[in-house]
Amino acid sequence: CLAPPCPSRQYPGLWEVPVTTWIGDNNQACNTPDICVVGAGRWVATEQQ
């Protein structure tokens, strides 16, 4: 797990599904693309980018 929070205990009867790690423009790992830094800022991208 590269992007906390990471599971640390077992949960009998529940499935733990791995998540693909994404890398934002700032080279930081994130669990989902909506929290990655892409473009000029978190929610902004321009045509040039």
12-15's contacts with Cβ under 8 Å and 24+ in sequence apart are none
pLDDT of residue 49: 47
pLDDT at residue 47 tops 60: no
∠ CA 39-25-46, rounded to 5°: 10
pLDDT at residue 19 tops 80: no
pTM for the predicted model, two decimal places: 0.42
Question: Taking a C-beta distance cutoff of 8 angstroms, is the pair 11, 5 a contact?
Answer: no
Least confident of 8-12, 34-38, 43-47: 43-47
pLDDT at residue 20 tops 60: yes
pLDDT at residue 41 tops 70: no
pLDDT tier at 6 (50, 70, 90 boundaries)? confident
